[in-house]
C-alpha cells in the first residue's frame, strides 16, 4: 500500500519474452550440446583405443623379447656346454684315438651353431640399415645353385623334392637374398614339419603376374591368427618355457626382410591336404 496510488507502480519489474521461434532456438541449442557431447565421447573413445593398442603392442614386444632372451640363453648355453665338455675330455686325455675325430666333429658343429646364431642377429641389423638394390636374374638358376647346400648332411636320407617350372621370366632379386630365404624356409620346415609321409617340396611357378618361390610341408600348419605374426622379429608360437624346438624367432623374420630387399612379398597359406605353403612372390624384371 502506498500513500499516493500512482506510487504503487514504482519498483515493479516487467519481463518481456519474445516467444517467436522459441522452440526452434531450443532445438538448435540442444543439437549443439549433443554434437559437442558426441565429439567429446568420440575423442575419448579414440584416445582409449589408441592407448589400449599402444599398451598391448608394448606388452607383445616385451613378451617377444622375453621369449627371445630365453631362447638365446638356451641356444648359447647348450653349444657352449657341449664344446667345453668335449674340449676338457680331449685335454685331459679321456678320449681314445678312435673317438677323437668324433669329438672334434661335435666341437666343430656346435661352433657352427653358435656362428649361425650370431650371424642371424647381425644380419637383422644389417638389413635394417643397408638396402641392397636387386638385380634381374634367373630364380631357377639360384635355386639349383643352392640345392646341394640345402640337402641334409652326408649319410642322412634326403628329405627334399624340387619342382621348378621351366621358362620363367627373370625377376628382381639378390643372390644372397634368395639363398637366405631358401635356407631359412627349409630349416623352418625341417624343424616344425619334418618330412615323414612325403618330402619337403621346393618349387617355383608363375601365378597372377608373379614368379613364386614356395616351400611346402605336411606339418600341423599355422593358425590364421598367427600367419602374420610369425614373420615378426623374435616371435614364436607358444612359450619358451614349454617349447621343445630350438630357435630364436629370427628365421622367418629374415625371410621377410630379404624378400622386401628384393621388392617381393612373403606369406604363408594352408596347403591343400594338410600342411603349410611358405611363399615369396617376386616381381618380373621384363
Give the integer Cα–Cα distance in Å for 9 and 44: 56
3-state DSSP assignment of residue 163:
strand
Contact 201, 163 (CB under 8 A): yes
Residue 239 pLDDT > 70: no
Residue 27 pLDDT > 60: yes
Give the integer Cα–Cα distance in Å for 150 and 93: 37
Extended strands (E) in the chain? 135-137, 160-164, 171-173, 200-207, 210-216, 265-270, 276-282
pLDDT of residue 60: 73
Residue 185 pLDDT > 70: yes
What DSSP state is assigned to residue 152?
A: P
pLDDT of residue 10: 67
Which among 232, 229, 118, 135 has a CA at the least distance from the CA of 177?
135
Q: State mean pLDDT over 172-179.
A: 90
pLDDT of residue 273: 87
Q: Which three cell numbers stand for residue 264?
A: 617381393
pLDDT of residue 37: 87
Give the integer Cα–Cα distance in Å for 267 and 259: 10
Give the integer Cα–Cα distance in Å for 100 and 31: 89
- The rounded mean pLDDT for the chain is 82
pLDDT of residue 241: 46
pLDDT of residue 161: 92
What DSSP state is assigned to residue 284?
A: B
Confidence band of 93 (pLDDT split at 50, 70, 90): confident
pLDDT of residue 166: 93
Confidence band of 66 (pLDDT split at 50, 70, 90): low
For residue range 187-224, list pLDDT tens digits in order: 889 888 887 888 999 999 999 999 999 999 998 888 89
Q: Residue 142, exposed/middle/buried by CB under 10 A (0-12, 13-18, 19+)?
A: buried
Which among 213, 211, 203 has a CA at the least distance from the CA of 284?
211
Higher-pLDDT residue of 118 and 254 is 254
Q: Which three cell numbers stand for residue 8?
A: 504503487
Q: State mean pLDDT over 74-103.
A: 81
Do you know the residue count of the chain? 286
pLDDT of residue 20: 64
Q: State mean pLDDT over 144-171.
A: 88
Give the integer Cα–Cα distance in Å for 180 and 257: 10
Higher-pLDDT residue of 141 and 22 is 141
pLDDT of residue 88: 86
| Reported pTM | 0.63
pLDDT of residue 57: 78
Give the integer Cα–Cα distance in Å for 167 and 164: 9
Amino acid at each position: 500500500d502506498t500513500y499516493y496510488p500512482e506510487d504503487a507502480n514504482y519498483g515493479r519489474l516487467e519481463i518481456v519474452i519474445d516467444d517467436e521461434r522459441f522452440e526452434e532456438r531450443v532445438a538448435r541449442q540442444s543439437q549443439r550440446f549433443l554434437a559437442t557431447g558426441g565429439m567429446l565421447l568420440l575423442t575419448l573413445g579414440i584416445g582409449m583405443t589408441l592407448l589400449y593398442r599402444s599398451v598391448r603392442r608394448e606388452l607383445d614386444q616385451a613378451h617377444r623379447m622375453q621369449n627371445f632372451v630365453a631362447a638365446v640363453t638356451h641356444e648359447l648355453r647348450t653349444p657352449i656346454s657341449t664344446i667345453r665338455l668335449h674340449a676338457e675330455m680331449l685335454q685331459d686325455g679321456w678320449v681314445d684315438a678312435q673317438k677323437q675325430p668324433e669329438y672334434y666333429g661335435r666341437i666343430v658343429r656346435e661352433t657352427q651353431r653358435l656362428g649361425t646364431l650370431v650371424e642371424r642377429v647381425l644380419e637383422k641389423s644389417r638389413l635394417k640399415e643397408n638396402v641392397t638394390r636387386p638385380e634381374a636374374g634367373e630364380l631357377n638358376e639360384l635355386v639349383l645353385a643352392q640345392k646341394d647346400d640345402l640337402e641334409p648332411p652326408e649319410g642322412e636320407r634326403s628329405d627334399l623334392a624340387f619342382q621348378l617350372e621351366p621358362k620363367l621370366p627373370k625377376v628382381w632379386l639378390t643372390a644372397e637374398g634368395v639363398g637366405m630365404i631358401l635356407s631359412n624356409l627349409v630349416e623352418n620346415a625341417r624343424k616344425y614339419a619334418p618330412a615323414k609321409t612325403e618330402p619337403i617340396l621346393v618349387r617355383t611357378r608363375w601365378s597372377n603376374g608373379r614368379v613364386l618361390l614356395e616351400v611346402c610341408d605336411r606339418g600341423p600348419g599355422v593358425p590364421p591368427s598367427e600367419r602374420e605374426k610369425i614373420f615378426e622379429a623374435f616371435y614364436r608360437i607358444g612359450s619358451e618355457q614349454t617349447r621343445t624346438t630350438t630357435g630364436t624367432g629370427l628365421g622367418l623374420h629374415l625371410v621377410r626382410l630379404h624378400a622386401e630387399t628384393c621388392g617381393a612379398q612373403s606369406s604363408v597359406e594352408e596347403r591343400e591336404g594338410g600342411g603349410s605353403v611358405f611363399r615369396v612372390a617376386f616381381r618380373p624384371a621384363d
